[in-house]
Chains A and B, each alone.
Chain A
Amino acid sequence: MSATLEVPTARRLSSGRRPVASPAGKLKRYVMPWLFLAPALVLFIVFKFIPMIDAIRMSFYDVQPYLGDEWVGGENYAAVFSDSSFLGAIGNTVILAVGTTAGSMLIGMVLALLLEGTAKNLWVIRTAVFIPAVAAMAVVAEIWRVLMYPAASGPMNSLIGLFGFGPSEFLNSADSSMISVLIVGIWKSAPYDMMIILAGLAGVDRTLYEAAALDGAGPLRRVWSVTFPQLKGVLSILITLAAIRGLRVFTEVFLLTNGGPNGATEVLMTLIYKLGLERGELGIASAGSVVLLVATVVLTVLVRAAGRKKKGAS
């Protein structure tokens, strides 16, 4: 672990190479980035892009793997758009996406700040807190289903009862199912975000804290003026991930409520699942997914453009 990695200094290199300006060197410089990108590009093209393009193609067909696909043009898209739950699903997807990502970033940030440090016991605590992120979603859903047992004797109900709040139906009522799913989603993602933020915090210059303290800044002030600016990179990652993953929210909804009760938690992915995958209609499923893809691409581009503008301005 104590690897001494040192930058080769002029003393070490005996060949005395000078920065190159010859045409051969220039060519090398322009080819180099592509050499570094090559392994990724190859793997991505073969295992990601080719299947993706095929999936997009599938959205225009009635997919029959054995008999051969039949062209149906926009029919699959029509089936998705005209479903009565479609608009509701979009609304729910946005609410859940925004809620889960904002919530988990906020709480992840709080957790990271609280659990930062080198003390031995912090390692253990951080590991324990990280478990939700690595536990299988199916099992997380089972546990929370037990915790959110709708009767007054249920664990969560007992807990909120201590604070004087009445028993809630949680997953079983259209009014509270959305919040319940959100809670589980945030609970599982916050440690994930915490991890990434901790990595960012580790790179913050400690002397700046000392300097800020000398200037009379309290801990919260320090966080605001010293830490946050230095977390730009990490926050950018999180926001990009949020844009990409947010609209795809599926597993927790599927396992906890399957979109119910009465479509209260129906999201795009559960709709795609019902209309497409459960019925073996791959064409419809692809069409729905392409809609999702387009929306996500637009969102990601907007988010990253906004991020770059901000960076330029500051």
Chain B
Amino acid sequence: MTSTTSLIVFGNDKKGVKLRNRAKRRDPFESALGLGGIPGIWGKVVRFVIYAVVLFIFAGPIYILLVNAFSAVPSPANVSLIPTNFTFDNFAGALNRNVFTYLGNSFIVVGFGLVLQILVSVSAAYALSRKKFPGMQLVMLLILSTMMLPEEILAIPLSLVLADVPIIHVNLIGSLVGMIVPVGAWGFSILVMTEFMKEVPIELEEAARIDGAGELRTFWNVILPLTRPGLGVITIFGFNMIWDQYMLPLLVATDSAQYTLPLALRSLRSDETLGIGVVLAGAVLALLPSLIIFLCMQKQFMAGLNSGAVKG
């Protein structure tokens, strides 16, 4: 039993990974389609064509975004591959409007909010996935139902709650805390983590329990590590969701100094005196952090699981 359980540990197969890297041979079975494994020039060509098409479709329009963000007067009628009248003015214009304050606020809100959200969601998912109790389906449905109403409708009722939180009678308006705490509740994270945790075989849990591990230990050392991909997903999407939040910061902020980036960008957009270039520049700045997180998270769970994790 011990040897099997220890195989689940990631990074344990260091020797295997080293060997594979040294051989520099593409493992044809590291992916479902095995594209990496097609040898020689034929493989290179196939992969090149596929990647080029995919990039063209999905990154092409983004490239246009970049080009226009650096153009002085982007034309709405056609696209050019290089900026017309290359300029940094758009970015300067976006930065001019106190962007660093907003960025700072956004980072604080996301930093704390994401941690809270992950902790809350993972704990809840553990209960929902590993424990069988009647009413579980109902709780799950209730949680999912919170994603079904548009946020504009909930705005006023939510603002009333924020101004006077029931029972503890605290006013969350006007401080960044008010933007952080409500964010901890997100049905998506719970949904994803529940599904990923369901996949962990029951035998492992029983083994741990027989070995004497308590509830918390089982949770932390057995289930959680096996759901790394799920954690990666909720980190990326959670970051994205909190970063892009509009309604909550709008309701909480009493002064523009408390704005987060999306709020500021929307204002840029409705300001008719600014050219579209500034708006695009702002959008480029806004999506950079999400991309960076994505890059980091990819590393996390991609590397971990491809080194021979064994299921049950």
Contacts and interface: CB of A to CB of B under 8 A. Distances in A.
A52 B154 contact: yes
Interface string A29-67: 010111011011101101111111011001000010100
A202 B244 CA distance: 27
B23 interface: no
A26 interface: no
B92 interface: no
B143 A44 contact: yes
Nearest to A218: B34
A147 B79 CA distance: 8
A233 interface: yes
**Which residue, A116, A205, A227, A285, has most C-beta atoms of chain B within 10 A?**
A116
B25 interface: no
A113 B58 contact: no
Contact of B31 (A201, A234, A269, A297): A201
A52 to B, nearest CB: 6
B229 A203 contact: yes
A263 interface: no
Interface string A269-294: 10011000100001001100100110
B6 A6 contact: yes
A262 interface: no
Interface stretch (B82-90, B98-106, B294-302): B294-302
A36 B36 contact: no
Interface string B197-219: 01100001001111111010101
A155 B147 contact: no
Looking at chain A's contact residues, the main secondary structure is helix
Contacts of B225: 5
Contact of B208 (A7, A134, A142, A222): A7
Nearest to A17: B212
Contacts of B55: 125, 128-129
Given A155-B79, A199-B232, A144 B61 contact: yes
A149 B124 CA distance: 47
B229 A153 contact: no
A29 B33 CA distance: 44
A47 B161 contact: yes
A232 B143 CA distance: 21
Contacts, number: 349
Contact of B166 (A46, A227, A304): A46
Contacts of A7: 5-6, 8, 204, 207-208, 211, 213, 221-222
Given A117-B35, A146-B79, A237-B191, A4 B11 contact: yes
B41 interface: no
B309 A203 contact: yes
A48 B12 CA distance: 42
Contacts of B283: 135-136, 138-139
Contacts of A50: 157, 161, 166
Nearest to A47: B182
Given A18-B212, A206-B29, A209-B32, A154 B78 contact: yes
A103 interface: no
Interface string A103-140: 00000000101111111010101111111111110111
Interface size class of B (residues with CB under 8 A): 35 or more
Given A33-B127, A199-B230, A285-B153, A135 B191 contact: no
Looking at chain B's contact residues, the main secondary structure is helix
Contacts of B274: none
A223 B276 CA distance: 45
B12 to A, nearest CB: 7
B54 interface: yes
B291 A130 contact: yes
Contact of B11 (A2, A40, A277): A2
**Which residue, A19, A32, A33, A36, has most C-beta atoms of chain B within 10 A?**
A36
B22 interface: no
Contact of B127 (A18, A36, A296): A36
A53 to B, nearest CB: 8
Contact of A209 (B8, B29, B74, B244): B29
Contacts of A130: 291, 294
A126 B298 contact: yes
B32 A227 contact: yes
Contacts of A282: 153, 156
Given A43-B181, A139-B65, A209-B29, 7 more contacts: A33-B131, A36-B126, A37-B127, A52-B146, A55-B149, A143-B62, A219-B33
22 contacts: A7-B211, A8-B208, A17-B212, A37-B123, A39-B124, A40-B143, A50-B157, A51-B158, A119-B26, A125-B55, A128-B62, A134-B287, A136-B262, A147-B79, A196-B233, A199-B196, A202-B229, A209-B34, A233-B199, A244-B144, A292-B150, A304-B141
